[in-house]
Amino acid sequence: MYNILVVDDEKEITDAIEIYLKNQGYSVYKAYDGEEALRIFEKEEIHLILIDVMMPKLDGTSATIKIREKSTVPIIILSAKSEDVDKVWGLNVGADDYITKPFNPMELLARVNSNLRRYTSYSNPKEMKENIIKIGGIELRDDSKDVLVDGESIKLTPIEYKILYLMMSNPNRVFSIEEIYEKVWKEPAYNPDTVTVHIRRIREKIEINPKEPKYLKVVWGIGYKFEQ
């Protein structure tokens, strides 16, 4: 059974999400601010977090930053449609996905399920492949899910790793944003703009100068490629 932490200062929202998730067999922990969420995360084994942006005491993005210092657990931002800046900021600091409010219960469950599938396949040794890809100074070791840049290990989230693996497995091939989303998320491109944010984060970790990337390059009007 997977344990999901739901964090929102609106009790009606956390209660409703709890019902949806429990009906799918998930175990649910609830918190109403970022500080409470961190306390629960420290004590319990949490497999996925749904977290609001605007909350008292400690907001969702600040809590996400603190969680990312210790864990790659999937984090899905809950955000009002008018808070585009908050959504992008949440992705930039380490969230894997976002859901806009008001949300469709079926979409919420689909995103929870897909993020858990990616996370478990990323961390399950039974599904690991003995595979090393090396392009320039970037080395990706799929058996251990390690990425090295000029010999130094870097930390990627499961989503970032899967995007990088896709691109490095197909050097010089140009992928559209929609194609990257569908291949990595394994679902129709509901939020393709998230790909751009994740690409930016990957560049910050693997490129000497992210503004003038050597490896992960944009092909204007088409998409992205990993240049060999």
**46-66 residue pLDDT tens:** 999 999 988 889 988 899 999
CATH number of 129-226: 1.10.10.10
Confidence band of 129 (pLDDT split at 50, 70, 90): very low
Alpha-carbon distance of 198 to 195, in angstroms, equals 5
Q: Which residues contact 63 (CB under 8 A, 6 or more apart)?
A: 7, 34, 35, 37, 38, 51
- Ordered by start, the domain boundaries in the chain are 3-123, 129-226
- What does DSSP assign to residue 102? S
CB atoms within 10 A of CB 187: 13
The angle that helices 60-68 and 84-92 make with each other, rounded to 10 degrees, is 10
Predicted confidence (pLDDT) per residue in 12-25, tens digit = 999 999 999 999 99
Q: Which long-range contacts (CB under 8 A, 24 or more apart) does 178-183 make?
A: 179/223, 180/223, 180/224
Mean pLDDT, range 103-124, rounded to an integer? 82
Alpha-carbon distance of 164 to 31, in angstroms, equals 33
Mean pLDDT, range 69-94, rounded to an integer? 78
H helix or E strand, kind and range, residue 52? strand 48-52
Whole-structure pTM value:
0.67
**Helices within 93-224 (DSSP H only):** 105-123, 158-169, 177-185, 193-206
What's domain 3-123's architecture? 3-Layer(aba) Sandwich (3.40)
